[in-house]
Structure 1
Amino acid sequence: MANLHVDVVSAEESIFAGEARFVTLPGESGELGILPGHTPLISRVRPGTVKVVLVDGSEISIFVAGGILEVQPGTVTVLSDTAIRAEDLDEAKALEARKRAEEALRNAKDKADIAVVEAELAMLAAQAAAARKLSQTRRSH
């Protein structure tokens, strides 16, 4: 069976680079599943979890705060300002940051400030949800 080369890159570092059987991620218009041989595609990525099924059948989960997806024959690239390995996600820290952002939203005066804070809140809510989902999965195994 053919494999995909997958790269997940944040603004700071390469989070994952390797061979995989399958990738799922939150695309702009819904959940995307990418197998080897997928049609070339460029799409926005919503905040959420990128799941990479490795060649050995194990899975890696990476939280992304949105970004861009590029699919080429045999290659999947996800570019995101923020990408965090699932094992590094911390629900409590995300919720604390969300409280600070909500306070900033209450104090925001103009539309530009409000839009920036609302985008940050959406990303933090998705990050907390991904952390919660991962911790529930860990407890059930």
Structure 2
Amino acid sequence: MASLRCVVVTPEKTALNREADYISLPMDDGELGVLKGRAPMIGRLGFGTLRLQTAAGPERYYVDGGFAQVEDNVVNILTGKLIPVDLIDNDKAREELNEARTLPSSKLEDMAIKQLAIRKARGKVRASS
């Protein structure tokens, strides 16, 4: 029997509710591995790959930022999007990255929008590779 539960909620629905033996989260400052018995925590997610090791095998998803909470062997994730990596077209993700790099950045707010778009696109490229 798996020792963890991973619940992912997007604005539209509960997108994932799975048991897993191991979960790897793409945190804003690096990856975080979660095993049974991990101390409670809350953290900001980055843009990248959520990995689950389940009884049926490994599963990978792109998460579009958000927050993660670990408590009592449950990993709760709030994110804007959850996409199975098999559904991400690597060429399209690279196009998104190139488009993000061409966004204007002369104003401070434009620069913030450009940097966010680049981070998201890089996360998709990494997830689809």
* Runs of 4+ displaced beyond 4 Å: none
Equivalence for 1:11: 11
Q: Please state which structure has a larger fraction of its residues in strand.
A: 2
CA distance in 1, matches of 2:73, 2:126: 31
TM-score computed with the length of structure 2 as normaliser: 0.88
Report sequence identity in percent: 28
Two-structure CA RMSD over aligned residues (Å)? 1.8
Equivalence for 1:115: 112
Equivalence for 1:127: 124
Aligned: 1:53 with 2:53: yes
CA distance in 2, matches of 1:28, 1:121: 14
CA distance in 1, matches of 2:115, 2:30: 21
**1:64–1:94 distance in 2 versus 1, CA, 3 Å:** same
How far apart are residue 100 of structure 1 and its match? 2.1
Equivalence for 1:43: 43
**1:75–1:96 distance in 2 versus 1, CA, 3 Å:** same
Equivalence for 1:66: 65
- Point out where structure 2 has 5 or more consecutive residues left out of the alignment: none
- Point out where structure 1 has 5 or more consecutive residues left out of the alignment: 133-141
Number of equivalenced pairs: 129
Residue 101 of structure 1 aligns to a residue in which SS? helix
How far apart are residue 2 of structure 1 and its match? 5.6
- Residues 15 and 84 of structure 1 are in contact (CA less than 8 Å); yes or no, is this contact kept in structure 2? no
